Structure 1
């Protein structure tokens, strides 16, 4: 659940307003002063002279907030500071039970109000959940964020709203427990989102997955009482600018017990409803692209199942034959996500893609390497593509750290009896996992994003919140829409 974003020529009378001011402001510009009494103006200007970055003026019937643009060396950093100011502002609006706020941008930062609205809206997000007690089901106070006049165009506000709806979709999916979102329900939710946004969905059932010989997905599903799914999401507008599609692949393990290589609990297994965050990000990205009618052909592939130790569950030592025909020795059933992704990456070759990007909560090694502050990126795409993805990461503050795929890492996944082992050595686990995936991503440029750190947070963290963050949606939307500039040259 998110506040609505809107655009208006002017703020309504006695409205709660936020004024974005240039760095170094000590005297209120006329547009921010309005009909303030002299004492109120003096109060604000004294606070600004004292270098306060967020000043609140309570008129009792309405509120005024003054936010000073941070002195940062790059535009990306200034926009992130404004998102964080939106988070800080939300607590003040919540305390005053403000239902609608109007934002005016009086700085030279053209995207300033959009960034403020982004941070504010993402902070205000609430997962509706399953509470039945009316006292505990409090509706959010903030319902509307309106950008005023030249703060942004109506089209820009609408585009941002759709991107944030994509983030909220991904968060909702990640936050849902497996008894409310098994593989079939996950596929149905993605299809329903496609019906709303305009992308198409083809859900492959067990029989079709078996016919395609997706040995990785089928092996992981063996211990589950419920069947797997393989969802193909496609946004192909008539005016698509790319001749070959961009393909996004998302890991869709709706719950991961670790299988027979059982995870410990608490603090490990109990968080594993988030193990489909990569698939959720793919759905959220397709949703945003379709809602905004972005002229790109983009395909999403989401293999989905839970990983359980029951029934005929696969065991360490098994050898499975993948969709590509390669054989894999299972050394650990908790290294299951790469098996699903491998089948999907092999399947992606049929599209002759321009680029394939996969997203997965794949390894604890990535979390240990860079924490929850960013994601690991590895792959075979050229340096210009990687640089463009890095730029998108800085623009959205969903930052990436690149790791190598040197030839020597292939030794980490050797098997005595099969083409590959699904488990590497004790060190560099995120790299050996990507090296495994590389064998199935041949014939096209490919990038792997290990989002295990930022996908799900156990404590509130700024506008990312607590629980599912929707990481990857804003990053991929920014990256893909910027490809239009390259295509149109």
Structure 2
């Protein structure tokens, strides 16, 4: 989709659909301005329009070049935030799709939000709502793609709006990359094929990708990844992604780790099919988010040295599959008693987190569809976030929560009390891979904490990563959750003030 910003008079805008967001209290002024440009039909048709949230009025103007107008209510002006703008724009994309229009424009509403951020939010909301995954559809004749989106801006704010719109386009496209990866059929994203897709992305967007094969993984001693992979006919991969611009503010990297279980049967602790295994092509959504984020960082030229680590395998009950009761020696040297082979994600993440130590990172963030307990606790509206209790813990949590609120990829903190670690004590090994029914998301994080010795943020995104029913600008299937969160967090993290000392 092409995205642009214009300041030409509204009635000269040659467009199939013009979306006009209106807050309560701004209705009279908006209708007056629109009537002057599109005719008195605006006042007559919208006489009862109040600007209430989600209120909609369709107009077919008497004059001007726009074929259709849609007034969409935003609710009280003091409650209009970035997420409200995204959802209004998403409504516009839905309307455009229903009418099968090719070109659309949005009038940026005058709010307390700065023009750059507002335009970014509008573009993100519209593009993400317009997304469709049609790779496996054989008849797409009835589908009509929206080819162009225009943000209408006042002259004085044009430059800021252009910056925001361009950033919104890049971020939305990066989210779509993650969505496409999650939605791919499992046979098209075996660990090796997934790694090749990452290499293609790196070549296209200018970051580096180095793929390790099974021999290198064995040489490195990644016992967790190798154990999970034993039941599969497909070998594992470990992919290292690097974005290291010349103007990077940091010498030691920020490391992103994404869980890459490309399909999860549960192994010998077999999952049921309905509403469980049938969605497990999404178990690499954490890895997909890292790929999308690396694309965005490179395209936006964020001045940070960032490394991505993606351990990839499927988890199958093959003839040599790892078994409950087995003890695994991990990359760190610690031993783990396996009591459930369906708690495999933490095993491959633990090896990646252990390997991350070699970079002496200033911060590590892992993302994973890790536990069903996260879905029970927070549903699909927010991911769980946890951090280790080392210097800067409160600041880290606040920063990632704020990034979630601003980006729309919301996260909510869970506690990491020492007492939870007792649930992982093993009689035969250093620890066991499950902690029982209680506090499942927290005990999974406490397991991972055994393998870190640096500032660390853990994001359990099992709920929001893959939806069974659509939500505003988040479709059924892969949502690309985590990309916007990481980009927003790292854009703020790249402040020169942080590294001036």
1:86 and 2:94 equivalent? no
Q: What are structure 1's unaligned runs of at least 5 residues?
A: none
Question: 1:117: Cα distance to partner?
Answer: 2.5
Query: Partners in 2 of 1:298 and 1:429 — Cα distance?
Result: 30
1:471 and 2:481 equivalent? yes
- Give the equivalent residue in structure 2 for 1:426: 437
1:413 is aligned, of 418, 424, 446, to: 424
1:346 is aligned, of 354, 373, 378, to: 354
- Give the equivalent residue in structure 1 for 2:129: 123
- Give the equivalent residue in structure 2 for 1:223: 231
- Give the equivalent residue in structure 1 for 2:328: 320
Using a 3 Å threshold, how does the CA distance of structure 1 residues 142 and 343 change in structure 2: closer, same or farther? same
Question: 1:49: Cα distance to partner?
Answer: 7.4
1:144 and 2:145 equivalent? no
SS of match in other structure, 1:462? coil
Question: 1:334: Cα distance to partner?
Answer: 0.3
SS of match in other structure, 1:27? helix
1:448 and 2:446 equivalent? no
Deviation sequence 1:159-179 (CA, Å, 0-9, x none): 111111110000000001211
Query: Partners in 1 of 2:167 and 2:438 — Cα distance?
Result: 43
Where do residues 359-374 of structure 1 align in structure 2 (5 Å cutoff)? 359-374=367-382
SS of match in other structure, 2:176? helix
Question: 1:73: Cα distance to partner?
Answer: 5.1
Provide the TM-score with structure 2 as the length reference: 0.92
Query: Partners in 2 of 1:50 and 1:306 — Cα distance?
Result: 48
Query: Partners in 1 of 2:142 and 2:54 — Cα distance?
Result: 33
Question: 1:20: Cα distance to partner?
Answer: 3.3
Question: 1:154: Cα distance to partner?
Answer: 2.3
1:294 and 2:299 equivalent? no
Query: Partners in 2 of 1:331 and 1:427 — Cα distance?
Result: 16
Question: 1:139: Cα distance to partner?
Answer: 3.7
Q: Tell which deviates more after alignment, 244-253 or 77-86.
A: 77-86
Query: Partners in 1 of 2:373 and 2:52 — Cα distance?
Result: 45
Question: 1:411: Cα distance to partner?
Answer: 1.1
- Asked if the contact 1:70–1:81 (Cα under 8 Å) also holds between the matched residues in 2, the reply is no
Using a 3 Å threshold, how does the CA distance of structure 1 residues 488 and 407 change in structure 2: closer, same or farther? closer
SS of match in other structure, 2:434? coil
- Give the equivalent residue in structure 2 for 1:21: 22
- Give the equivalent residue in structure 1 for 2:342: 334
Where do residues 193-272 of structure 1 align in structure 2 (5 Å cutoff)? 193-272=201-280
- Asked if the contact 2:250–2:499 (Cα under 8 Å) also holds between the matched residues in 1, the reply is no
1:7 is aligned, of 5, 8, 14, to: 5
- Give the equivalent residue in structure 2 for 1:95: 98
Query: Partners in 1 of 2:152 and 2:238 — Cα distance?
Result: 44
Query: Partners in 1 of 2:371 and 2:147 — Cα distance?
Result: 38
Provide the TM-score with structure 1 as the length reference: 0.94
SS of match in other structure, 2:310? strand
Question: 1:387: Cα distance to partner?
Answer: 0.3
- Asked if the contact 2:94–2:130 (Cα under 8 Å) also holds between the matched residues in 1, the reply is no
Root-mean-square deviation over aligned CA pairs: 2.0
Q: Tell which deviates more after alignment, 319-328 or 121-130.
A: 121-130
1:462 is aligned, of 472, 479, 482, to: 472
Question: 1:46: Cα distance to partner?
Answer: 3.8
- Give the equivalent residue in structure 2 for 1:189: 197
- Give the equivalent residue in structure 2 for 1:58: 60
Query: Partners in 2 of 1:239 and 1:182 — Cα distance?
Result: 36
- Give the equivalent residue in structure 1 for 2:169: 161
2:72 is aligned, of 67, 75, 94, to: 67
Deviation sequence 1:426-469 (CA, Å, 0-9, x none): 11111111100000012x10011000010000111121111000
SS of match in other structure, 1:463? coil
Query: Partners in 2 of 1:436 and 1:424 — Cα distance?
Result: 9
Q: What are structure 2's unaligned runs of at least 5 residues?
A: none
- Asked if the contact 2:18–2:70 (Cα under 8 Å) also holds between the matched residues in 1, the reply is yes
Question: 1:266: Cα distance to partner?
Answer: 1.2
Query: Partners in 2 of 1:232 and 1:40 — Cα distance?
Result: 56
- Asked if the contact 1:252–1:276 (Cα under 8 Å) also holds between the matched residues in 2, the reply is yes
